[in-house]
């Protein structure tokens, strides 16, 4: 296995590392094999055609991440959608959701590889997805017919998240403010953003939320 593919404590390799580096020499334990249908990549983020309906999969190129990577990672996804809209000359508003996973998994003894999904939600966005991926109806694989959820887990603590909170204050400080707890390395955070992109390239947060597992009081 390549040295840049992380192995968890249960000896399973990180699937997201394997997607990025196209290394399946240790394909064990049901690790999904992603076909090499990469749309684009840069030194920071890789973007894949997702199997989920009208959704793209964004993966941080490094396995290791900190809370400070979250706003930069989301910003790169927003910039990418803006460029796609301009490149394919899609007129009118494009609406899409961003669902980000920054979860710690005790069974892995590690944080998951930072990743997010962009899911297009209006007709213009769905048209953009079908044009850029060569699909019809939003599915890359007709045998895999699933959708990305448009909500966070209601069993978690859910808080509002503004653009200023995310991009300037930072999710770690926002969590500490809202929870009145200090951040720790095993803290899980999930983010859901509903975004509208206009013809001038302005992205508006229609709704922003983040969530974390409920904290038991001492």
Q: Each residue of 144-196: pLDDT tens digit?
A: 678 899 999 999 999 999 999 999 999 999 999 999 999 998 999 999 999 99
Of 24 and 127, more confident: 127
Look at residue 28 in the predicted model and tell me its pLDDT: 53
| Same-domain pairing of 46 and 16 | no
Based on the domain organization, do 106 and 179 belong to the same domain?
Answer: yes
Q: Indicate the pairing of strand 45-49 with strand 55-60.
A: antiparallel
Report the range of poorest mean pLDDT among 17-21, 64-68, 85-89, 201-205: 17-21
Note whether 70 and 116 are within 8 A (CB): no
Mean pLDDT of the chain: 87
The answer on 76 and 27 residing in a single domain is: no
Is residue 218 included in any domain, yes or no?
A: no
141 phi, psi to nearest 5 deg: -125, 115
Residues 145 and 134 in one domain: yes
In a domain, 6, yes or no: yes
Q: Count Cβ atoms below 10 Å from residue 122 Cβ, excluding itself.
A: 14
Identify whether 58 is part of a domain: yes
Asked if the structure places residue 217 within a domain, the reply is no
Work out the percent of the chain whose per-residue pLDDT is above 70.
Answer: 87
The range of the structural domain enclosing residue 31 comes to: 1-36
Specify the higher pLDDT residue, 135 or 85.
85
- Quote the percentage of the chain above a pLDDT of 90: 58
Q: Is residue 139 part of a domain?
A: yes
74 and 113 in a common domain: yes
Alpha-carbon gap, residue 92 to 81, rounded angstroms: 14
Residues with Cβ within 8 Å of residue 162, at least 6 apart in sequence: 205, 208
pLDDT band at 1 (very low <50, low <70, confident <90, very high): very low
Contact by Cβ (8 Å): 25, 92: no
When divided into structural domains, the chain yields a total of 2
Instruction: Please tell me the pTM assigned to this model.
Output: 0.89
Q: Do 5 and 48 belong to one domain? A: no
Instruction: Please indicate, yes or no, whether residues 119 and 45 belong to a single structural domain of this protein.
Output: yes
Residue whose token pair is 């973007």:
47
Over residues 40-78, the pLDDT tens digits come to 667 888 888 888 899 999 999 888 899 999 999 999 999
Q: Are residues 66 and 161 in the same domain?
A: yes
Token pair recorded at residue 25: 């020499």
In which band, very low, low, confident or very high, does the pLDDT at 217 lie, cut at 50, 70 and 90?
low
Chain-centre distance for alpha carbon 180: 26
Position 15 scores a pLDDT of: 82
Residues 109 and 130 occupy one common structural domain: yes
- Contact by Cβ (8 Å): 116, 96: no
48/26 same-domain check: no
Identify whether residues 207 and 138 lie together within a single domain: yes
Whether the Cβ atoms of residue 25 and residue 31 lie closer than 8 Å to each other:
no
For residue 136, is it within any domain?
Answer: yes
Structural tokens at position 13: 């390799």
């Amino acid at each position: 296995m390549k040295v840049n593919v992380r192995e968890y404590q249960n000896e399973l390799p990180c699937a997201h590392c394997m997607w990025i580096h196209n290394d399946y020499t240790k394909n064990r334990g049901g690790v999904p094999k992603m076909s090499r249908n990469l749309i684009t990549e840069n030194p920071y983020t890789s973007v894949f055609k997702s199997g989920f309906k009208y959704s793209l999969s964004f993966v941080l190129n490094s396995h290791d991440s900190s809370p400070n990577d979250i706003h930069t990672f989301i910003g790169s996804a927003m910039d990418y959608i803006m460029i796609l809209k301009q490149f394919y000359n899609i007129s009118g508003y494009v609406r899409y959701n961003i669902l980000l996973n920054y979860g710690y998994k005790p069974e892995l003894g590690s944080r998951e590889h930072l990743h997010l999904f962009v899911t297009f939600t209006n007709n213009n966005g769905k048209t953009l997805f079908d044009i850029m991926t060569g699909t019809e109806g939003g599915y890359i694989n007709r045998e895999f017919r699933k959708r990305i959820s448009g909500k966070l887990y209601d069993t978690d603590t859910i808080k509002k998240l503004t653009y200023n909170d995310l991009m300037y204050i930072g999710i770690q400080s926002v969590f500490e403010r809202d929870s009145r707890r200090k951040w720790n390395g095993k803290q899980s955070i999930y983010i859901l953003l509903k975004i509208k992109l206009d013809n001038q390239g302005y992205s508006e947060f229609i709704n922003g939320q983040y969530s974390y597992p409920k904290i038991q009081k001492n």
